Amino acid sequence: MTKNDDGEPLMGSGGAGALPSAPASALEPAAQATRGGARRRFRVRFFAETVVEADDLRDALGQAEALGATDITGIVQEDR
């Protein structure tokens, strides 16, 4: 059984084209997760991509940061 960094079992097939695996606890219904007032911690990792209209590279980076980007892994100028 595959486990995440915290040792929790992962759900999902992991095959080509499969969705990223998620800890089994992340898939429990909200009613079960909040029963008794206990809160749980979840680590969520994701990448997002967006297109911005900008005057130059510096402006594009500024807009991405204003949208909440913290780890920019690539930037490409697109033809109109």
Does 19 have pLDDT greater than 50? no
Q: Residue 74: which of 49, 46, 45, 52 has the closest Cα?
A: 49
Query: Do 31 and 66 reside in the same domain of the chain?
Result: no
40-54 pLDDT, tens per residue?
Answer: 999 998 889 999 999
* 1 and 37 housed in the same domain: yes
What is d(CA 67, CA 38) in angstroms, rounded to the nearest whole number? Answer: 32
Q: How many domains does the chain have?
A: 2
By C-alpha distance, which of 39, 44, 35, 56 is closest to 4? Answer: 44
Q: Is residue 36 domain-shared with residue 74, that is, in the same domain?
A: no
2 or 73: which carries more pLDDT confidence? 73
pTM of structure: 0.46
